[in-house]
Amino acid sequence: MSVERVHRMSHAVDAAAPAGVLYNVVADTAPWPLFLPDTVHVERLDSTGTTDRFSQWADTDGRPRPTLWRRTLDAHRRRIDFRRERPADPVTTQGGSWSVEELAPGWSRLTLEQDITVAGNRSADVERVLASARDGARSVLGRLGAVAERWRRLDGLLLSFEDSVRIPGPGEPVHEFLYRVGSWPGRVAHVVGAEVTEVSAGVQRTSMVNLADDGSAYTTEEVRVCFPAAGRIVFKRTRPHPLLAAHAGEWSVEPDATGVTVVCRHDVLLDAGAVERMLGPGADPARAGRHVREVLGRESRATLEPAQQYARESVRSLRPV
């Protein structure tokens, strides 16, 4: 019986950011869909403050799927140890650590150490797995380092908000309407075209043609992961509104004793370089944030209204004659 070899690798990036800022960018996984292009959704499963466990939906090969991770966080040492649960074949174990070192005031180094074992130690499998891990490490390090370097203005570029509607009656028809995004043209006012591909059960890729205030059309593309039992659909726009660098969010149908509340949440990262180009000279992130809030809020409400109507019609059609 061959003994599986442990393959180790180390990558690092230096960033013009304080060590505490760089550590927090790694420690807080909630905004990762806005920071990492391949990350569609992160779901925290449990947390004690020094340990956590989360599911990360990543779109690395055109088929978004979740990976499970558990971590031990040491803020004092600025170190995070991690381990992947149930890795996909041919990987048998995968783990490592993140560590942050202060180089000088305002300069820090982020290091990612990884250890991986591959079933059978077959050369082709090992080369493919290590190449993927290497490429992923370099990409993630570069992205997180760049985010940390924008720490002084990052709060002004990040925005979260939600819109909701109360609907008396069951939640199933509401979730059905939200799921069947291909039927939105002609029902949702700003949507004039939609193409949907079911990548796998509950995972969709969509392309929608939307109308702006001035009547011009723009296209958005997104990945959606649907959790029908929980009444949730999370999404990541891979081609967001022109004012945004990144856009993620969630539709949720929350039941109570007499009906449901349908909520649409948006998490966005403004594209600082697009603000004046889109809104004119002198426009700042605050104005861009208000504009995006208005546009996306209007689009959410325009979707919630026909969802409400669809639910009412579904309830009436089920009533006995």
| DSSP state at residue 312 | H
C-alpha–C-alpha distance, residues 150 and 246, integer Å: 15
Q: In the prediction, which pLDDT does 2 show?
A: 58
Best CA proximity match to 131, nearest among 120, 123, 119 = 123
C-alpha–C-alpha distance, residues 178 and 95, integer Å: 37
C-alpha–C-alpha distance, residues 129 and 118, integer Å: 8
Best CA proximity match to 196, nearest among 186, 205, 184, 209 = 205
Per CATH, the number for 157-318 is 3.30.530.20
Phi, psi (degrees; rounded to nearest 5) at 284: -125, 170
User: CA of 97: how far to CAs of 26, 37, 220, in Å?
Assistant: 11, 21, 36
Q: Where in the chain is the domain with CATH 3.30.530.20?
A: 6-149, 157-318
Give the list of residues 6+ apart from residue 183 with CB closer than 8 angstroms, or none.
177, 194
Q: Are 26 and 35 in contact (CB under 8 A)?
A: no
Element (H, E) at 125: helix 123-149
Q: Are 59 and 86 in contact (CB under 8 A)?
A: no
Give the list of residues 6+ apart from residue 135 with CB closer than 8 angstroms, or none.
none
C-alpha–C-alpha distance, residues 5 and 199, integer Å: 35
Q: Domain 6-149: give its CATH architecture.
A: 2-Layer Sandwich (3.30)
C-alpha–C-alpha distance, residues 111 and 78, integer Å: 11
C-alpha–C-alpha distance, residues 237 and 221, integer Å: 6
One pLDDT digit (tens) per residue for the chain, 321 residues: 556 899 999 999 999 999 999 999 999 999 999 999 999 999 999 999 899 999 999 998 778 889 999 999 999 999 999 999 999 999 999 999 999 999 999 999 999 999 999 999 999 999 999 999 999 999 999 999 999 999 999 999 999 999 999 998 889 999 999 999 999 999 999 999 999 999 998 999 999 999 888 889 999 999 999 999 999 999 999 999 999 999 999 999 999 988 999 999 999 999 999 999 999 999 999 999 999 999 999 999 999 999 988 888 876 554 443
Length of the chain: 321
Q: Are 121 and 2 in contact (CB under 8 A)?
A: yes
Cis, bond preceding 90 (omega within 30 deg of 0): yes
User: For the packed helices 285-318 and 172-179, what is the interaxial angle rounded to 10 degrees?
Assistant: 120
Say which amino acid occupies 28.
D
Q: In the prediction, which pLDDT does 317 show?
A: 53
